[in-house]
Amino acid sequence: MKVLLQQDVKGAGKAGDIVTVSDGYARNFLIPKKLAVPADESSINAANIKKNAAKHRVEVQRRNAKELASGMSDLTVRVYAKAGEGGRLFGSITGKEIAEALKEQYDISLDKKKIRIREPIKQTGVTVVGAHMFEQTDAEFKVEVIALEE
């Protein structure tokens, strides 16, 4: 019996696959547990539409990430921190602080986990920081650390 899997089934296939299984396995296990539906024309068509929509959504995300990444190379994000003598910071600049500054200054929402800091930023000045935007799409921008005046 041909069935369209609704969820991943170990030993049978992944969600959205059309697989041939024994009649008893389909009728007694897969269909009652809503892991699969019989593969008729309408369910196959619905699965294809769903796959195409998911592909399109990923493609739009990739395109948006590439556009954003190309525009970020010119950015300089200013982060303010307490500093001692010689411009040495008390602590270091984290991805969270950089993400907040990006949101505040340029209205760019970027997850703090996607910001790649090569070495801890413990000194005032300009540092180049990377950001992973999407699959195989990375961006680099400058972070300028400025000492707070007290």
Domain spans of the chain?
2-67, 75-147
Q: What is the pLDDT along the chain (150 residues), one digit of tens a residue?
A: 999 999 999 999 998 888 999 999 999 999 999 999 999 999 889 888 988 999 999 999 999 888 888 888 888 999 999 998 888 999 899 999 999 999 999 998 889 999 999 999 999 999 999 999 888 889 999 999 999 876
Give Cα 11 to chain centroid, integer Å: 29
pTM (predicted TM-score): 0.69
Q: What local confidence, expressed as pLDDT, does residue 113 receive? A: 94
d(CA 28, CA 36): 11
Half-sphere exposure (CA, 13 Å, Cβ side) for 108?
Answer: 24
Query: Residue 50: how many CB atoms within 10 A of its CB?
Result: 12
d(CA 120, CA 139): 18
Level-2 CATH architecture, domain 2-67: 3-Layer(aba) Sandwich (3.40)
Q: What local confidence, expressed as pLDDT, does residue 134 receive? A: 86
Tokens representing 53 are 């929509």
d(CA 19, CA 21): 6
75-147 fold = Ribosomal Protein L9; domain 2 (3.10.430)
Q: What local confidence, expressed as pLDDT, does residue 24 receive? A: 96
